[in-house]
Amino acid sequence: MATGATLLTDLPFRRPHPLTLLRPSDIPSFYPLHISLQNNRLRSHFRCSIAEGSTALSPSNASSQSSILDCVVVGGGISGLCIAQALATKHPDVAPNIIVTEAKDRVGGNITTVERDGYLWEEGPNSFQPSDPILTMVVDSGLKDDLVLGDPDAPRFVLWNGKLRPVPAKPNDLPFFDLMSIGGKIRAGFGALGIRPPPPGREESVEEFVRRNLGDEVFERLIEPFCSGVYAGDPSKLSMKAAFGKVWRLEQNGGSIIGGTFKALQERNKTTKPPRDPRLPKPKGQTVGSFRKGLTMLPNAISTCLGSKVKLSWKLSSISKVDDGGYSLTYETPEGLVPILSRSVIMTVPSYIAGTLLRPISGKAADALSKFYYPPVASVTISYPKGAIRKECLIDGELKGFGQLHPRSQGVTTLGTIYSSSLFPNRAPDGRVLLLNYIGGATNTGILSQKESELIEVVDRDLRKILINPNAEDPLPLSVRVWPQAIPQFLIGHLDLLDTAKAGLREAGMEGLFLGGNYVCGVALGRCVEGAYEAAAEVAGFLSKKVYK
């Protein structure tokens, strides 16, 4: 899998976070780049041309001395593509000569949109939160007019005691929602103000942090299902610091969650913000976004913008440091082995693939990268007639909302369900509803041994307990997609492992070799894009300050 090879996604059941999975898309292949390495010395005066509007090198025009790229991005998933796009748009003077290499014959990692028989569905991430970084990527890639946004007032639901209960969307909803008891709300309020046990002085799990700060009900009825939705993970093992660092830092910086929030607001008000890019759309409220023809439009559009910089069916077989400080990479391509030189490299493939490639360079880094855990997740897409929805689940006669999450304690196997045909337009034929369901994760790895028909049966059985009339006709199954290694788990010790991997590369003298992707920056699609801008700035800083001016 390429970068972003994981994840249950960007549906914001809680304000800062999402519910999504990532998948691949189709794109035509490009003629590969060949660079002669007869002399492995890096020359600062020579730059090869690989950008749009320049000529890709081949054996007939490559220099026999040295042909040097500024950066090779290994992995054509959403992280890798966005890093390359960020380098091209934000740092063109520092890194004009870059390529993105992808072992598969398509870009996009796990982003997969399918259109058939009047339906349009996602088998990877379903949506993203429209932050300014991802909107910038959308505009720079020419997709502004194709952007679609969900209704910000559409409710999100959590299953509790046999009933779908709305999650509060605004602070003034808090006193009235019935997902929690009055006692649970009071406990959460006191805890948020700082009336709760002190931090234990060690790295806490998500469960420990939330129970200590906000109480049992917040954990069991909000955070546990949210962790299932975003990470497909086990909150007793996920690290609060690594998985939800922004919330963790509130207590660290302000003594409590509320104290940290006020302190963050004060600091933000003291800081002069640059003017917002006037090209960017202005989403209303807490919503999610996609595109007219699904998420696959984004990697395809970025690939089109990058043009001949994108190299498909290029499988990296080896990487090594050369005497003058750059990197030699050898690729297996449809045209044979292709060696290239680059001043910098960023690995955006999953950690287990990066570890295998980097083992000859640093056993320490490889060992650390091999320890990240990716549980299996399946997306099950099915359709029912509108009349199959239970009347008590309808709003004004329609199925409205973003979707529903299911705490593990509520007797259902499915992690959550997204109301795809309610979320965005033109996702299903008239008279039908389209539901995207996720199943599996860290607490249910047995899905790997189940047949597709069995997974559909489990999802249908769960939905008939909650959303679908028990006597409704059988669902129309559209897709079952099982991802054996899906979302990287940000477990306790995750950040230490990541630091160990980076330290291993430094100790091996691998300056200019960077790690990127969702196990580094975060699993939500939006975080992958934000992390791409951060990674591009890091690469550009290295190139401008340290090498070959």
Residues 227 and 310 in one domain: no
Residues 367 and 505 in one domain: yes
**What CATH number is associated with residue 509?**
3.50.50.60
Which helix (H) or strand (E) covers residue 342, if one does?
A: strand 336-342
Residues 233 and 307 in one domain: no
Report if residue 364 sits inside a domain. Answer: yes
Task: Using CB atoms within 10 Å of the CB of residue 200, give its burial: 0 to 12 exposed, 13 to 18 middle, 19+ buried.
Answer: exposed
What pTM was estimated for this model as a whole?
0.87
For residues 407 and 80, give the distance between their C-alpha atoms in angstroms, rounded to a whole number. 34
pLDDT recorded at residue 547: 53
Residues 191 and 259 in one domain: yes
Report if residue 541 sits inside a domain. Answer: yes
CA geometry: angle 515, 521, 523, nearest 5 deg: 120
Residues 229 and 361 in one domain: no
Q: 437-454 in b/e burial notation, b at 16+ Cβ within 10 A? A: bbbbbbbbeebeebeeee
pLDDT recorded at residue 28: 27
φ, ψ of residue 71 in degrees (nearest 5):
-155, 140
The count of other CB atoms within 10 Å of the CB of residue 54 is 15
Taking the chain (549 residues) in consecutive chunks of 10 residues, what is each chunk's mean pLDDT?
Answer: 40 34 28 32 32 35 58 98 98 96 96 97 94 97 97 94 90 82 96 96 97 97 91 95 96 96 92 92 92 98 98 98 92 97 97 97 97 97 98 95 95 96 97 97 96 98 97 97 96 98 97 97 95 98 76
Which helix (H) or strand (E) covers residue 71, if one does?
A: strand 71-74
Q: What is the pLDDT of residues 96-116, one digit of tens each?
A: 999 999 999 999 999 999 999
The residues, ordered by sequence, that sit 6+ positions from 278 with a Cβ below 8 Å of its Cβ are: none
261 is in which domain, residue-wise? 175-270
Report if residue 320 sits inside a domain. Answer: yes
Q: In what order do the strands lie in the sheet with 336-342?
A: 68-69, 336-342, 327-333, 315-321
Beta strands in 281-314, from DSSP E residues, in sequence order: 289-291, 310-312
User: In DSSP terms, which residues pair with 159 in a beta bridge?
Assistant: 164
User: Would you say 100 and 311 are in contact if contact means Cβ atoms under 8 Å apart?
Assistant: yes
Please give the distance of CA 230 from its chain centroid, rounded to a whole number.
10
Residues 368 and 494 in one domain: yes
pLDDT recorded at residue 176: 79
Q: What is the pLDDT of residues 68-101, one digit of tens each?
A: 999 999 999 999 999 999 999 999 999 999 999 9
Task: Using CB atoms within 10 Å of the CB of residue 420, give its burial: 0 to 12 exposed, 13 to 18 middle, 19+ buried.
Answer: buried
Report if residue 436 sits inside a domain. Answer: no
Report if residue 284 sits inside a domain. Answer: no
Report if residue 282 sits inside a domain. Answer: no
For residues 55 and 6, give the distance between their C-alpha atoms in angstroms, rounded to a whole number. 35
Report if residue 369 sits inside a domain. Answer: yes
Residues 505 and 364 in one domain: yes
Residues 369 and 494 in one domain: yes
The residues, ordered by sequence, that sit 6+ positions from 398 with a Cβ below 8 Å of its Cβ are: 386, 422
pLDDT recorded at residue 231: 87
Per the structure, the count of domains in the chain is 2
Final residue of a structural domain among 270, 291, 311: 270
Residues 264 and 194 in one domain: yes
* Token digits of residue 80: 């890798």
Residues 358 and 494 in one domain: yes
Final residue of a structural domain among 270, 294, 328: 270
Pairing of strands 147-149, 289-291: antiparallel
Residues 266 and 319 in one domain: no
Final residue of a structural domain among 247, 270, 293: 270
CA dihedral 29, 538, 346, 494 (to 10 degrees): -120
* Token digits of residue 103: 């072992």
Residues 181 and 246 in one domain: yes
Please give the distance of CA 392 from its chain centroid, rounded to a whole number.
34
**What CATH number is associated with residue 218?**
1.10.3110.10
For residues 403 and 423, give the distance between their C-alpha atoms in angstroms, rounded to a whole number. 8
Report if residue 433 sits inside a domain. Answer: no
ω into residue 9 within 30 of 0, thus cis?
yes
- Based on C-alpha coordinates, what's the Rg of the chain? 24
